[in-house]
Structure 1
């Protein structure tokens, strides 16, 4: 067992867990961390996607009571069904567009210019959304979303296929611009992540199974475990944070990170091609 490889897997897991649910793009940070740690081969890319499952397990644990109640048809069967349908509606666009455009996006959009542009543009949009978000929200609670709201958030989630966009950032800020409260947008983003990231992880593991061997189990297990722990900490903190804070600090961080991407790419310090 390669101890150094396990340490690298743990560090990558921490990066994934801390960035997956913040509006700062886990993909961009994993590219940076993978380059610094020397995990840039095809197996490393599969690993990046697989450890998202650990982060999602943290969300499932945090919302375990809520999910259990919904599965049991509480508070009412109609309510539970409506919520499940909304999540399914929001999930479908990512499946369709992911299958249609996934290869093309990986082939053409994993470039320093695209990553930097989406980081900076996303930061500007967050700042604009926060300045615009001054009146009462149209949808205060996640249970009040309509199927139309769910579909719109699901379509917005597809923007995260472009590297550097941030799935959580797109869905939360997009939801807020549609009239969802900060809390409702954040919570629906978390629920929508469950089928989206688990589906993406399982699909990529199956598609790239020829790259994997039983000897990779310790590395993947460590990455999953650290992703789970760091995401659990991060999500619980974020839920408290959004109650009384804006996302502006994340916007400025995105803009600064975009500048870092441009500088490191210009001098050839980081391989931002993915």
Structure 2
């Protein structure tokens, strides 16, 4: 196996890991990378490239599971977080997570083929990047300066459902799942950190389910020749996603969404003029 291919797989894992849970759209970044680089590789046919992207996305999902492992253990009824100051009845419930998942989950199943066939292109990603950035700016401008919902354990069912409905916008590549849901949460009276925590927790089941189904469909492309590339990309995505999530959660209440919105707009402008 060519060492250069391994290095490229690590770089692509880095892109996935750093962007999957930041509000900049990992799907958008991967489509751009796919159009400009990934499809040119000999070992990656169209199906092989899709399988590779699924594998590295699973690396990012594992990073969230590791970061929120105690939370997931509690949600599944296997234990409790060691937080005595919070009463059991005020804890985040699994049903609230499910309420947030339903809208985008249903639309995703109904329109998955249409989205794959018509929206996965660099030009549609640029539209999503810009419109999503505007939405994030509006959230920072009009969100409460003293939000009542400071932690994810204070979220209501109404907030969970509204965030779930807003998450439907992220089905458009480039809009960003975390960008839409964090913005929606802020506009619903949540702190940036509370909205981010709920976003990450809610992302695991829907992303894991979609990724595993896709992986099963494309299992034949997991050849021995490509396996080192998949492993390198998976490990790279896991490591960089783990670092990205922890860094993001520490800073989100301080820096809010504006820096990410500016980055998205600048990226869209650069891609448009340089590559389109």
Shared fold (TM-score greater than 0.5)?
yes
Q: Determine which of 61, 68, 78 is the counterpart of 1:72.
A: 78
2:16 touches 2:56 (CA, 8 Å); kept in 1? yes
Q: 1:12 matched to which residue of 2?
A: 12
Report if the CA contact (8 A) 2:100-2:164 is conserved: yes
1:34 aligned to 2:39? no
Q: Does 1:59 align with 2:59?
A: no
Unpaired segments of 5 or more residues in structure 1?
Answer: 267-274
Displacement of 1:134 after TM fit?
Answer: 4.2
1:241 paired with 2:247, answer no
Partner residue, 1:269? none
TM-fit CA distance, 1:180: 1.4
Please give the secondary structure, in 2, of the residue aligned with 1:244: helix
Give the alignment of 1:85-234 within 5 angstroms. Answer: 85-234=95-244
Q: 1:47 aligns with which of 49, 52, 72?
A: 52
2:253 and 2:172 mapped to 1: Cα distance? 29
Q: Deviations over 1:163-198 (max 9, x none)?
A: 111111111111111221111101001101111211
Partner Cα separation in structure 2 for residue 142 and residue 77 of structure 1? 13
Q: How far does residue 79 in structure 1 lie from its aligned partner after superposition?
A: 5.5
Q: How large is the Cα RMSD of the aligned pairs?
A: 2.1
Whether the 8 Å CA contact 2:144–2:189 is kept in 1: the answer is no
Change (3 A) 1:95 1:216: farther
Question: Which SS does the other structure have where 2:208 is aligned?
Answer: helix
Q: Which runs of 4+ in 1 moved over 6 A?
A: none
- Structure 2 unaligned segments of length 5 or more: list them: 41-45, 82-86
Range with bigger deviation, 67-76 or 104-113: 67-76
Q: Number of paired residues?
A: 265
In the alignment, is the contact (CA less than 8 A) between 2:28 and 2:125 conserved in 1? Answer: yes
For the Cα contact (< 8 Å) 2:31–2:120, is it kept in 1? no
SS in 1 for 2:235: helix
Q: TM-score, normalised by structure 1?
A: 0.88
Kindly indicate whether the alpha-carbon contact (under 8 Å) linking 1:127 and 1:251 is maintained by their aligned counterparts in 2. Answer: yes
Q: Distance in 2 between matches of 1:111 and 1:61?
A: 32
Residues of 1 paired with 2:72 and 2:269: CA distance?
A: 40
Residue aligned with 2:253, SS: coil
Q: Could you list the per-position Cα deviations for residues 211-253 of structure 1 after superposition, in whole angstroms to 9, with x for gaps in the alignment?
A: 3324332221111110010011111111111132221111111
Q: TM-score, normalised by structure 2?
A: 0.88
Going from structure 1 to structure 2, the CA distance change for 1:241 and 1:148 (only over 3 Å counts) comes to same
